[in-house]
């Protein structure tokens, strides 16, 4: 095997390969024959032993194409369906993903619960994010080169806007209509969430999706439900949930409880910053300043400067005015 590293932003040839293989982002680890035929790919960093196991699997002929063949013969087989689903999502092949989910459901009409239902929702959430990030780029470049969007199930409101020639309305109105469309399409996807015992992972995913798309009340409810049911949640996820509650200015006492839990397991600067800011806005000013100073002292470079600036604002009694990114979308 020969290892090649592509950096599409730095040269044209790498960008052509990046586009040829429809990579969705970084990291993408792609296995191909010497003539460029793709054998398999994955989109996550992994430990060396897992990486070597992937190489052994591919060398043994258990490639993505082989898995597709097995699923073609048994479209309702969950053991075959799941790795194909993962492979299609890494490729960003949404039309084929929806087709495989539909085939699985047709072959298993009586499954309850249906294991493909949360995967369908995850696909819609992922494509929704991809489409609206692209729409923001188009908006900021005067809607040049609008691509043909395959299977736009995740964004019917966006399709309506494009059909109505949104580029011809005033720029400020474009932004407002695009933000509203993003919000509306996200709401449709969130309504698909099963109410019957969703897993903690799905709760967290839905909560973050709701927050990222302006559904703050839903996000708070889901984050709290996740925090109450997850066993040993990762401190980074707990910290993110607390920070998103802080940004949305909802249920701050619960956010403080989350932040203290994260801080008890990881007292690093970013986690300390979340707790400090929450303490400050809920009235525990002195404790908040003390913890923010600790974050500034332990951080480096621009991160340390940022935390030091927060300390200055706290000591001056100023408001902390950070807001969710959705409120500035699509700029």
* Tally of CB atoms within 10 A around 91: 20
**What per-residue confidence (pLDDT) applies to 227?**
97
Query: What is the C-alpha separation between 248 and 35, in angstroms, rounded?
Result: 51
Reported as a single tens digit per residue, the pLDDT across 50-99 is 999 999 999 999 999 999 999 999 999 999 999 999 999 988 899 999 99
**What per-residue confidence (pLDDT) applies to 151?**
76
Cβ-contact 126, 89 below 8 angstroms = yes
Q: 296: which residues sit within 8 A by CB, 6+ positions away?
A: 269, 304, 307, 308, 310, 311
Query: What is the C-alpha separation between 269 and 284, in angstroms, rounded?
Result: 19
Work out the burial of residue 235: count CB atoms within 10 Å of its CB; fewer than 13 is exposed, 13-18 middle, 19 or more buried: middle
**What per-residue confidence (pLDDT) applies to 321?**
78
Reported as a single tens digit per residue, the pLDDT across 196-229 is 678 899 999 999 999 999 999 999 999 999 999 9
Query: What is the C-alpha separation between 277 and 207, in angstroms, rounded?
Result: 21
**What per-residue confidence (pLDDT) applies to 164?**
86
Reported as a single tens digit per residue, the pLDDT across 270-314 is 999 999 999 999 999 999 999 999 999 999 999 999 999 999 999
Cβ-contact 253, 246 below 8 angstroms = no
* pLDDT greater than 80 at residue 232: yes
**What per-residue confidence (pLDDT) applies to 22?**
77
Task: Say whether 176 sits in a helix, a strand or coil.
Answer: helix
Could you tell me which of 260, 309, 324 has the C-alpha nearest to residue 287?
Answer: 260
**What per-residue confidence (pLDDT) applies to 99?**
96
* pLDDT greater than 80 at residue 104: yes
**What per-residue confidence (pLDDT) applies to 173?**
94
When comparing pLDDT for 21 and 76, which is higher?
76
Domains along the chain?
12-113 (no CATH), 118-190 (no CATH), 200-328 (1.25.40.10)
Question: What is the average pLDDT score of the chain?
Answer: 93
DSSP string, 238-278: HHHHHHHHHHHT--HHHHHHHHHHHHHH---HHHHHHHHHH
Write phi, then psi, for 32 (nearest 5 degrees).
Answer: -140, 160
Whole-prediction pTM value? 0.89
- pLDDT bin (cut points 50, 70, 90) of residue 193 is confident
| Radius of gyration of the chain measured on its C-alpha atoms | 23
**What per-residue confidence (pLDDT) applies to 100?**
97
């Amino acid at each position: 095997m020969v290892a090649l590293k592509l950096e599409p932003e730095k040269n044209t040839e790498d960008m052509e390969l990046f586009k040829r293989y429809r990579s969705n982002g970084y990291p993408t680890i792609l296995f191909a024959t010497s003539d460029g035929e793709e054998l398999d790919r994955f989109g996550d960093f992994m430990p060396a032993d897992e990486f070597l196991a992937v190489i052994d699997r591919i060398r043994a002929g258990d490639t993505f194409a082989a898995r597709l063949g097995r699923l073609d013969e048994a479209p309702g087989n969950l053991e075959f369906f799941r790795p194909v689903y993962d492979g299609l999502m890494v490729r960003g092949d949404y039309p084929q993903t929806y087709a495989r989910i539909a085939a699985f459901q047709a072959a298993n009409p009586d499954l309850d619960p249906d294991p493909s239902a949360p995967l369908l929702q995850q696909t819609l959430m992922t494509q929704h994010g991809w489409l609206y990030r692209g729409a923001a780029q188009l908006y900021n470049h005067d809607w040049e080169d609008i691509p043909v969007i395959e299977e736009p199930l995740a964004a019917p409101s966006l399709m309506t806007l494009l059909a109505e020639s949104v580029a011809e309305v005033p720029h400020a109105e474009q932004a407002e209509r695009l933000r509203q469309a993003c919000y509306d399409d996200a709401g449709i996807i969130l309504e698909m969430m099963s109410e019957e015992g969703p897993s903690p992972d799905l709760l967290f995913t839905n909560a973050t999706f709701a927050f990222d798309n302006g559904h703050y009340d839903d996000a708070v409810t889901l984050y709290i439900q996740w925090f109450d049911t997850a066993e040993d949640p990762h401190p980074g996820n707990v910290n993110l949930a607390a920070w998103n509650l802080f940004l949305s200015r909802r249920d701050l006492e619960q956010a403080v409880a989350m932040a203290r839990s994260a801080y008890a397991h990881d007292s690093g600067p970013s986690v300390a910053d979340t707790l400090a800011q929450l303490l400050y806005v809920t009235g525990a000013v002195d404790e908040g300043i003390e913890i923010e100073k600790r974050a500034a002292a332990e951080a480096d470079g621009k991160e340390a400067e940022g935390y030091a600036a927060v300390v200055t604002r706290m000591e001056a009694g100023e408001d902390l005015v950070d807001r969710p990114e959705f409120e500035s979308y699509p700029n």
